[in-house]
């Protein structure tokens, strides 16, 4: 009996150090030999999307929480840590990289809230201009030079055409958030891509919009902005697009950077419907993507941007004409009921180009093809 007790005590002494939680400045520590890390939200694993950064004061990841809590696991090449993430709560830990550099990492949970917009107005207060594809040399060049008809050949419906086109644009270059083209039009962007250049979300929006317009599906670039667009220093905006699908008679959101179309109950969604579906029907929400983009990863990333929405009044394609405006404003911004009308972008940039509305009908009216652009806007 004494021999058994002695053996048990010896085993406890040997095992205890391995069971003890490593800490640094009072926080848990996990180890890593390389800077790339994976994470799992619930049951969905996201690989190679996190970069461990000891040089960053606090490396923050915002994690969406569809319900009251979600299990989160962070994996390095040699260690891991798990905990429940709750809305409005933070979990902090350190990653010790190569045994010498500590990276303070914070996982912040946030819940989903459906924004309220005016749905009672029935008559639009504004109209928009869209590309008519009538002897447009710019559109004809884009369509023939890049053989766009071949991309959508045999598509069963407009939804499939849109999915094929956004996937084609998505594959043309890898995202580079710091690079801009010499001129912001689809032909210039694609020509510079052939030279090896890579571009931002803005350029994915421009090119996908132009390509859809070229094959006869009315499309418009869509700007998204976070609730704190005026006070945050960077990362307050994202650009994607919406396309009007005639066979469904509705606007549908597409994201060229991520190759995404949101769908609920087999119906493609516009950006506002997407925001509402995230908050109210997350489990039934589908992220349709030929590239296989992760639902959890995309929703987690895009949700904070789905607060303010803005589109141009004049969505015609080409480079050699003057854009029409309304009261000298080039865009219409959709603002949630009761929310502030933002006038500044990221502390220093003036947002002086927008008219503002809370009304869904202003933003999502069906395209009207106008023969006289000078009198089309009001």
Domain end marker among 110, 137, 163: 110
Asked whether residue 42 falls in the same domain as residue 174, the answer is no
Q: Is residue 41 part of a domain?
A: yes
Asked whether residue 335 falls in the same domain as residue 268, the answer is yes
The pLDDT of residue 46 is 86
Distances (CA, A) of 349 to 52, 179, 276, 353: 30, 19, 29, 11
The pLDDT of residue 377 is 64
Asked whether residue 188 falls in the same domain as residue 309, the answer is yes
Q: Is residue 288 part of a domain?
A: yes
Asked whether residue 81 falls in the same domain as residue 221, the answer is no
Q: Is residue 117 part of a domain?
A: no
Asked whether residue 268 falls in the same domain as residue 195, the answer is yes
In angstroms, the CA 65 to CA 90 distance is 12
- Spans of the chain, pLDDT less than 50: 1-3, 5, 7-20, 372-375
Asked whether residue 106 falls in the same domain as residue 134, the answer is no
Domain end marker among 110, 145, 172: 110
Tally: H helices and E strands in the chain: 10, 22
In angstroms, the CA 330 to CA 363 distance is 14
Q: Is residue 120 part of a domain?
A: no
Asked whether residue 57 falls in the same domain as residue 186, the answer is no
Domain end marker among 52, 81, 110: 110
User: Which are the contacts of 189, defined by CB distance < 8 A and separation ≥ 6?
Assistant: 181, 199, 203, 206, 207
What is the span of the domain harbouring residue 41?
20-110
Quick check: 221 and 209 in contact, CB under 8 A? yes
In angstroms, the CA 108 to CA 93 distance is 12
Asked whether residue 293 falls in the same domain as residue 361, the answer is yes
Q: Is residue 116 part of a domain?
A: no
Q: Is residue 27 part of a domain?
A: yes
The pLDDT of residue 19 is 42
CB neighbour class for 117 (10 Å; exposed up to 12, middle 13-18, buried from 19): buried
User: pLDDT per residue over 337-354, tens digit each?
Assistant: 999 999 999 999 999 999
Q: How many domains does the chain have?
A: 2
Residue that is written with structure tokens 């806007």 in the block: 377
Asked whether residue 183 falls in the same domain as residue 103, the answer is no
What kind and span of H or E run contains 279? helix 271-280
Q: Which pTM was predicted?
A: 0.82
Angle 202-219-363 (CA atoms, 0-180°, nearest 5)?
95
Of 71, 47, 60, the C-alpha closest to 103 is 60
Asked whether residue 234 falls in the same domain as residue 326, the answer is yes
Asked whether residue 150 falls in the same domain as residue 255, the answer is yes
The pLDDT of residue 241 is 98
Q: Is residue 13 part of a domain?
A: no
Asked whether residue 169 falls in the same domain as residue 57, the answer is no
């Amino acid at each position: 009996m004494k021999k058994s007790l002695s053996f048990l005590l010896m085993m406890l002494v040997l095992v205890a150090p391995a069971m003890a939680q490593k800490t640094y400045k009072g926080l848990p520590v996990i180890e890593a030999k390389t800077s790339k890390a994976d994470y799992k939200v619930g049951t969905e694993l996201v690989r190679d999307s996190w970069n461990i950064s000891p040089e960053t004061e606090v490396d923050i990841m915002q994690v969406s929480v569809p319900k009251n809590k979600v299990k989160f696991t962070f994996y390095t090449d040699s260690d891991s840590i798990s905990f429940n993430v709750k809305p409005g709560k933070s979990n902090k830990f350190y990653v010790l990289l190569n045994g010498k550099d500590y990276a303070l990492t914070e996982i912040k949970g946030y819940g989903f809230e459906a924004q309220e917009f005016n749905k009672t107005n029935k008559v639009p207060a504004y109209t928009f201009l869209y590309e008519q594809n009538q002897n447009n040399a710019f559109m004809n060049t884009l369509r023939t030079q890049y053989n766009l008809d071949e991309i959508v050949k045999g598509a069963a419906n407009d939804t499939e055409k849109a999915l094929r086109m956004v996937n084609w644009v998505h594959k043309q270059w890898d995202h580079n958030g710091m690079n801009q083209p010499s001129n912001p039009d689809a032909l210039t962007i694609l020509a510079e891509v052939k030279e090896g250049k890579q571009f931002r979300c803005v350029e994915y929006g421009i090119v996908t919009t132009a390509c859809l317009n070229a094959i006869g599906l009315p499309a418009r670039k869509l700007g998204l902005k976070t609730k704190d667009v005026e006070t945050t220093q960077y990362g307050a905006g994202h650009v994607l697009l919406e396309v009007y699908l005639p066979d469904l008679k509705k606007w549908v959101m597409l994201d060229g950077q991520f190759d995404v179309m949101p769908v609920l109950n087999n119906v493609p969604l516009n950006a506002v419907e997407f925001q509402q579906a995230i908050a109210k029907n997350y489990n039934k929400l589908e992220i349709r993507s030929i590239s296989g983009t992760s639902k959890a990863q995309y929703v987690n990333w895009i949700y904070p941007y789905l607060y303010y929405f803005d589109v141009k009044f004049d969505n015609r394609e080409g480079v050699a004409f003057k854009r029409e405006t309304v009261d000298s404003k080039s865009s219409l911004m959709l603002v949630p009921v009761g929310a502030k009308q933002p006038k500044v972008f990221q502390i220093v940039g003036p947002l002086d180009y927008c008219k503002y509305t809370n009304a869904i009908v202003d933003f999502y009216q069906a395209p009207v093809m106008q023969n006289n652009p000078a009198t089309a806007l009001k």
